Chains A and B, each alone.
Chain A
C-alpha cells in the first residue's frame, strides 16, 4: 500500500481514486441462451413447448399466407390459381379481394367522383394537428406537414379529383403550412376551424351553414370575454344563451342569404353513403377530439368541493360506465327519435358521435382523475399560496402535470374508443370490419372469402392504433422533466 497510511490506525487518503470503467461483461449468444432459455429443467421444457407452439402456428398459417393470390377477379379465379400453382387441395389466402374492393373498404358507398373530399379532409387533419402534436420539434412537424400535403395531393389526383379542386387544395394546404411555420399562434385558430372545414368536405352542402355554426361559437366566446370580468360564471351562461339564440334565430336565414350572394356549395353526401374507414375515422377523430375536454371537465367536477356539481359528475360517469356502448348506440339510433320533437332531422352519424363521445368521456374522466390524484398536495398549496385562482391553478399548474401523468391511460382510452367505432354496425352504419366485409362477401365474385377482409381491416386498425401508441410514447419522452 504505497499511497495510503493503511498500516496506521489513523487513516488519511492522500490521492482520490479516479473512476474506472466497469469490467467487461461476459457476452455472447451461448451465454444468453443458457441464461434465458436453458437455465434449468423447467425452463428447458418450457423452451421446447414454446418452440412447438411456434412451429404449429407457422406450419398452418405459413403456407396459407405464402400461397396468397393478389391478382384475381373473383374467389373462383383465386382458387383456380392456387390449385394450378400449389397443387389440388392446397390452401391460400385470396388478398386479390382487398385490391379489387379497396375503395369500398376505404370509402363505403361514398360517391366515387367525390373520393377526393374525404382524402383532403383526412390530409388537412394532420395540418390541423401538427402544430399541436409537434409543437416542440420543428423537424418532426415539417416532416409530418410535407408528407401529409404531398400524399394528400397525389392520392387526390390518382382518385380523379377535378382540376379546380386540386388547385384549391394545393393553395389551401400551402397557405396553411406557411401559417403554421410563420405564425404558430394563429395556426392554432386555424386548427379550431378545421372541424368545420372537415364537416363541409365530408357532407358537402353550403359552406355558409358551417360558417354560421362557427360564428355562433365565436359570438358566445366574445360575449363571455366581455362579461367574464364583471359577472363571472353568469357570463358563461349568457354566452351559451347568446350562441343558442344565434343558431336558432339568425344562423339559418343568414346562411341562406349569404349563399344567395356567394354560393359556396359542394355536392351533398348523405350519412347513409358513409362507410368503411371514412366512417370509422370520422367518428373516431370526432370522438377523440371531443371526449378529452369533456373528460377533463368531468374529472375536475368529480373532485369539486361543490356537492351538486360533484354529484352530477359522479352520476354521469357511473351511469355511462355502467352501460354497454351498444345500449347507448341503440339509444342514439332508436330512442332519441321518440324524445325529439317529430320532424327533427338529427343526423345518425352525429347522434352516434355524441354517444361515443359521452362513453369515452366517462372513461377519460376517471383516467384523468387518477392523474389529478397522483399530484402531490404541495402543488395545489404552492399554487394557492401564490394567489392563483381555481381556474388558473388548474390550467397552469395542475392539468399540465395531471394530463402528462395520464398520457398512457388517455391514449388507451382513445385506442379503445377508435376500435369501438366498429360497433356502429349494430345501428345500421357500414363499419369496415363487419358491415363492409359482409357487403363484399354478399357479392357473387367474393362469396366464401372469410378471413381475408378481417385480416386486412385488422391490419389497418393495428397500424392506426400502433401509431397513436408510438406517438404517446414519443410525447412522454418529450415531456420528461426530471433527468435531462
Chain B
C-alpha cells in the first residue's frame, strides 16, 4: 500500500456530512463531547483511537443507529431529528458495514443484496438482481450468490456485506471496524475491496485499526479519545509528526511492535 494520497477534494458548496457540537450520553456517561466535523463529498476519513473513545458511537450517530442528545447532524442536506421520514431517507443514502457483518442468515447472498433495493427503493426484482451481481462481481464473489451466509468465510461475508450496502447506491459509506473480527489472512481481501471503493471516489468514514490502510487511502485521520476529537491531520503528518502526547502514546502502542 504505497499509493500516493490524492488531494482532499475541495469543500464544495454542500458538505456530505456536517456535524455541529454533537453531544451524547449513555445514562450519565458522556460518550461524545462537542464533536465538530465537516466531511466533503468524496472525502475519505479514518477514525482511530483507543477502545471506548466513542469512535464507533460517532459513526453510528451518522445513520442514527444511536440517537444524539445535543447538537446537529446534517447528512446530505437532511438533518437527523426524531422525524422518521428523514431517518429513513438518510439511512437509504448511507451504507454501513459492521464489525460482525450482520448478514441475514436466512437469506441467500443474492437475497441479502436485493432485499433493500426491492423493498425500500422499489426496484424491480430482475434489475435488483443484476445490480447485486454487478457488485458481487466487484467484490469478487459472484459464484457464491446462491449460498447462505453461514457457508462463507468471514472475509467473504464481509465482502458480501460491502456489496449489500453498495446495492443501495449510497452516497456515503460508513465502516465500523470492518476487519476487527477477521483472521489476518482475510483482512487483506476486505481491505483491497475497500481500497478499490476508495478509488471510485466514494465518500468514506472508516473506524479501523489498520494504519496501513489509513496511510494508503485516507485524506484525513481523526484521532479520538474520551469522546473528543484530539487531533486530525493528513495521514502523513499524523503518523510522522503527531502533535499531542496522547496521539504519540497511541501510535507508539499500535505501531511499536
Contacts and interface: CB of A to CB of B under 8 A. Distances in A.
A13 interface: no
Interface string A105-131: 000000000000000000000000000
Contacts of A381: 65, 98, 102
B92 A482 contact: no
A469 to B, nearest CB: 23
B168 A386 contact: yes
B77 interface: no
Interface in A460-484: 479, 481-484
Given A379-B104, A396-B119, A482 B150 contact: yes
Interface residues of B, number: 29
A400 B115 CA distance: 14
B106 to A, nearest CB: 5
Interface in A386-407: 386-389, 392, 396-397, 400-401, 404
Contacts of B164: 386
A132 interface: no
8 contacts: A379-B102, A379-B104, A385-B98, A387-B88, A392-B119, A404-B106, A481-B105, A481-B148
Contact of B104 (A392, A397, A479, A483): A397
Interface string B72-111: 0000000000001000110110111010111111100000
Contacts, number: 72
B241 interface: no
B40 interface: no
B79 to A, nearest CB: 17
A400 B106 contact: yes
B63 interface: yes
Interface in A339-380: 376, 378-379
B180 interface: no
Contact of B120 (A382, A388, A404, A481): A388
B116 interface: yes
A300 B120 CA distance: 22
Contacts of A389: 84, 88
Interface residues of A, number: 22
Contact of A482 (B96, B102, B105, B116): B105
A384 B65 contact: yes
Nearest to B99: A378
Contacts of A384: 63, 65, 91
Scoring A384, A397, A479 by chain B CB atoms within 10 A of each residue's CB, the highest score goes to A384
Contacts of A386: 91-92, 115-116, 120, 164-165, 168
Contacts of A379: 102, 104
Interface in A404-424: 404
A378 B102 contact: yes
A241 B91 CA distance: 35
Scoring B63, B106, B165 by chain A CB atoms within 10 A of each residue's CB, the highest score goes to B106
Nearest to B104: A397
B75 to A, nearest CB: 13
A378 B98 contact: yes
Given A386-B116, A387-B89, 17 more contacts: A376-B100, A378-B102, A381-B102, A382-B96, A382-B98, A382-B102, A385-B98, A386-B91, A387-B91, A388-B120, A396-B115, A397-B104, A401-B104, A401-B106, A482-B148, A483-B150, A484-B151
Interface of A: 376, 378-379, 381-382, 384-389, 392, 396-397, 400-401, 404, 479, 481-484
Contact of B168 (A382, A387, A396): A387
B229 to A, nearest CB: 24
Contacts of A397: 104, 115
A387 B92 contact: yes
B13 to A, nearest CB: 26
Main secondary structure on B side of the interface with A? mixed
B92 to A, nearest CB: 4
Contacts of A482: 105, 148, 150
B57 to A, nearest CB: 13
A387 B104 contact: no
Given A384-B65, A392-B119, A401 B105 contact: yes
B150 A385 contact: no
Contacts of A387: 88-89, 91-92, 116, 120, 168
A382 B104 contact: yes
Contacts of B101: 378
A384 B168 CA distance: 13
A404 B148 CA distance: 16
A385 B65 contact: yes
A387 B164 CA distance: 12
A377 to B, nearest CB: 9
Contacts of A479: 106
A482 B152 CA distance: 10
Interface in B207-239: none
Contacts of A392: 119-120
Nearest to B150: A482
Scoring A379, A387, A400, A479 by chain B CB atoms within 10 A of each residue's CB, the highest score goes to A387
A484 B100 contact: no
B103 A382 contact: yes
A388 B102 contact: no
Nearest to B91: A387
A481 B65 contact: no
Contacts of B104: 379, 382, 397, 401
A356 B144 CA distance: 47
A330 B125 CA distance: 52
Nearest to B105: A481
Contacts of A483: 150-151
A481 B112 CA distance: 14
A415 to B, nearest CB: 25
A387 B165 CA distance: 11
B144 to A, nearest CB: 13
Nearest to B161: A382
Scoring B65, B84, B100, B102 by chain A CB atoms within 10 A of each residue's CB, the highest score goes to B102
B148 to A, nearest CB: 5
Contacts of B102: 376, 378-379, 381-382
B146 to A, nearest CB: 11
Given A378-B98, A387-B168, A396-B119, A484 B148 contact: yes
Contacts of A400: 106
A400 B92 CA distance: 23
Interface in B175-205: none
Contacts of B120: 386-388, 392
A397 B119 CA distance: 12
Contacts of B105: 401, 481-482
